[in-house]
Chains A and B, each alone.
Chain A
Amino acid sequence: MKKITKQTYLDWYKDMLFWRKFEDKLASVYIQQKVRGFLHLYNGQEAILAGALHAMDLSKDKMITAYRNHVQPIGMGEDPKKVMAELYGKATGTSKGMGGSMHIFSKEFGFYGGHGIVGGQIPLGAGIAFGDKYKGSDGVTLTCFGDGAARQGSLHEAFNMAMLWKLPVIFIVENNGYAMGTSVERTANHQDIWKLGLGYEMPCGPVDAMNPIKVAEAVDEAIQRARRGDGPTFLEMKTYRYRGHSMSDAQHYRTKDEVEEYRKIDPITQVLDIIKEKNYATEDEIDAINKEVKRMVKECEKFAEESPYPETQQLYDMVYEQEDYPFIS
């Protein structure tokens, strides 16, 4: 893993702040009905992505996740303007406006989406890793899902196959405490989701996911294991989401005080504290970063607003590869 230096912290601060502001901007345009469909925001969970990206080798490693997926492709290199355009449903979006918020894909940067069905993407991740192993590349696949998805049968099927065939996959459960409205306490008789790996003798463990350093270390160890050919790892990222499950979530299942408590360990604040404590940047430099982030978000919004909607004909064009099957009327 690359060493964690002063520049790392500054990059983490800028990236995480940008992701946070990006999500906040999406929330505000969603209320204006410019973004349709459903919107699931990543606020509070940024450290997982920041740490994981630091440990990954983006030239060969891949990621697949569920529907809280706006910032992962941006972190992996995709143009944030195209991601925002996709959310607006415009033709310049990553999926040409076909998918929307829950289905961001980026073939160029190795981001496999963007999946609506809970737990549906877990065996997919194992399959992508199988492809890597089969072709002899030492790329690794990070398969992310939520604490709700941990209750799906597809998880066990994927775990079993991954251990059996020693697939280079890292299973990451982003445990933010709530499966939409149901807390983890109410979905199982124990709260340590990482223990699900024990039954498969998979290396597994919890990670403090509000701290990007801890995340980077854990993911790095898992990546090295996978690259060596020693098979999968299961990491439970203990995190928290500050916003609701989606924009239509009234959040009756938790108190405002609880959210306030967790705001004290906000990953962005943690990184900023380290920067200030070790004098990695002056107040002016931090200010400059904040302004830059604001400008970038505005640029994305402008691009998305000004892009055109897709043509209706496009609906028919991407069902199959061959375009002239008789029954597509």
Chain B
Amino acid sequence: MPSCYPAPNIDVIPKKHLRHFFIKNINSQKELTMLSTSMSTCRRRFHLCKISISSVALHKHNDYDKNLQNTKGAFASAPDEPDIDAFLPRTNMNLVTSINQTLFRILEKNSSAILFGQDIAFGGVFRCTTNLQSKFGKNRVFNTPLNETGIIGMAVGYASTGSLAIAEIQFADYVFPAFDQIKNEASMFRYRSGNQWDCGKMIVRMPYGAVGHGGHYHSQSPEAFFTHIPGIIVVVPRGPIQAKGLLLSASISNDPVVFFEPKALYRSKIDDVPDEDYYIPIGKAEIMNEGTDVTVVGWGRQLQVLEKACELAQKNHGISCELIDLRTLAPWDVDTIEASVRKTGKLLVSHESPVTGGVGGEIACAVQERCFLSLEAPIARVCGYDMPFPLIKEKEYLPDEWKNLEAIKSLMEFSK
């Protein structure tokens, strides 16, 4: 353990808090000590308002230190998953409205919260910020000039005063001038100041992904660049319900959050969203459909495609797929994926961004490290090709349901 993280005094932690821990049977003082040191690290990583952690990965291996080095993927801790299906009343709405209303809630609850970006005053290019300026005023919701570096830099600075800064980058393709601010300022703020300061109350929202006619600079999925940065959180909602939960979690997080919104789903994905506030845990994946034959992992818009592929696999070939929404890409929930792969023995990861260096590679490698002997087939990645996002050949480029179906069938074939 790095010496800058002092272990808490064991006697101060009441034993009743240990009920929340996933580890059962804490029998020795030694185990308790080890647990507390890992708690300090976890508390720093995630927005834990209570001491409780719902699971700590060290139960998988006995070698505790090895786990601590296995940083991002190893920790899947969070407040409990809300039982969203039980919440009533609910309102039918699309992704734009869900984000709009959630931003309204955030600005309402946190008086220090400000929202800024290019052209957001009249509602933004996708209308996610409609009516927010008229409700909260020009001091809190305002346009910026066209300078991404300045926008994110200012967000980092404002967040470091403990206030909530929500910055919008108009398209994810334009984030790169601001990438330096995210990588070299935001992600390291806490670490380099020895935990004196952090710029945790910062959310960078940006629409990402293919939209049918976007071409080179309106279709990119740059999530892989961000997952490579330790110190930030990257989340991708797949629909209105998840967007509200994840955005609210991001607003109470003490680490900076990059929030990718699938622009192709802005108007087309419609759900019954609960009226009350709920927080989806950061760092936890969600099993959308249980299955027994193949584990299929995706996020954001790609899940729509994967759902179709899984349906086709079930209907036409009787293959039962377990579909998992990763939800948080960094730090990502390796435990859930591993447990699923131990069950099915086969893994498919799919994303729009190019295959080389994409998040799929990270998932594949981490999973095979942990449960190599459970695998019955090589891990498959169905992703975009290694080229700039094309203009008119978008259909050929995208990893659609047919390519995924072929991959699922090949996995089954191999494992026979």
Contacts and interface: CB of A to CB of B under 8 A. Distances in A.
B122 A253 contact: yes
B218 to A, nearest CB: 7
Contact of A36 (B146, B217, B392): B392
A4 interface: no
Contact of A99 (B355, B356, B391, B396): B391
B118 interface: yes
A182 B386 CA distance: 36
A109 interface: no
A118 interface: yes
Given A89-B391, A98-B391, A329-B385, A187 B145 contact: yes
B100 interface: no
Contacts of B396: 312, 315
Contacts of B54: none
Interface stretch (B13-21, B208-216, B222-230, B269-277): B208-216
B392 A149 contact: no
Most central of A154, A188, A252, A328 by chain B CB within 10 Å: A328
A149 B146 CA distance: 6
Interface string A275-296: 0000000000000000000000
B393 A315 contact: yes
B216 to A, nearest CB: 6
B37 interface: no
A100 interface: yes
A75 to B, nearest CB: 24
A89 B392 CA distance: 6
Interface in A230-266: 252-253
A315 B387 contact: yes
Contact of A181 (B119, B392, B393, B397): B119
B318 interface: no
Given A99-B216, A179-B146, A252 B386 contact: no
Interface residues on A, range: 35 or more
Contacts of B387: 315-316, 319, 328
B143 interface: yes
B136 interface: no
B385 A328 contact: yes
A182 B118 contact: yes
A37 interface: yes
A97 B174 CA distance: 23
Contact of B147 (A97, A153, A316): A153
A315 B398 CA distance: 13
Contact of A37 (B146, B391, B393, B397): B391
A119 B146 CA distance: 9
Most central of B150, B213, B393 by chain A CB within 10 Å: B393
Contacts of A116: 173, 215-218
B388 interface: yes
Given A315-B385, A316-B387, A102 B215 contact: yes
B393 to A, nearest CB: 5
B1 to A, nearest CB: 39
Interface in B135-160: 143, 145-147, 149-150
A151 interface: yes
B8 interface: no
Interface residues on B, range: 20 to 34
A97 B392 contact: yes
Interface string A16-54: 000000000000000000001110000000000000000
A122 B56 CA distance: 50
Interface string A212-238: 000000000000000000000000000
Interface string A173-209: 0000001111000111000000000000000000000
B155 to A, nearest CB: 16
Most central of A36, A103, A253, A319 by chain B CB within 10 Å: A36
B146 A97 contact: no
Most central of B385, B392, B396, B397 by chain A CB within 10 Å: B392
A151 B385 contact: no
B215 to A, nearest CB: 4
B194 interface: no
Given A179-B145, A253-B122, A316 B213 contact: no
Given A36-B391, A89-B391, A315 B397 contact: yes
Interface string B218-257: 1000000000000000000000000000000000000000
A118 B385 CA distance: 26
A98 B390 contact: yes
Contacts of B143: 182, 186-187
Contacts of B82: none
A8 interface: no
Interface in B362-416: 385-388, 390-393, 396-397
Contacts of B145: 148, 151, 179, 182, 187-188
Contact of B385 (A186, A310, A316): A316
A312 B147 contact: no
A36 B149 CA distance: 30
Contact of B174 (A36, A100, A102, A117): A117
Nearest to A314: B393
Contacts of B146: 118-119, 148-149, 151-152, 179, 187
A134 interface: no
A316 B393 CA distance: 11
A104 to B, nearest CB: 12
A7 to B, nearest CB: 39
Nearest to A153: B149
25 contacts: A36-B391, A37-B214, A37-B391, A89-B391, A99-B216, A100-B391, A102-B216, A116-B173, A116-B218, A117-B173, A117-B174, A118-B146, A151-B145, A153-B147, A153-B149, A153-B177, A154-B177, A179-B118, A179-B146, A180-B119, A181-B122, A252-B122, A253-B122, A312-B393, A329-B386
Given A149-B146, A151-B145, 15 more contacts: A98-B390, A99-B216, A116-B173, A117-B217, A118-B174, A148-B145, A182-B119, A182-B121, A187-B145, A315-B387, A316-B387, A319-B386, A319-B388, A327-B356, A329-B385
Interface of B: 118-119, 121-122, 143, 145-147, 149-150, 173-174, 176-177, 213-218, 355-356, 385-388, 390-393, 396-397
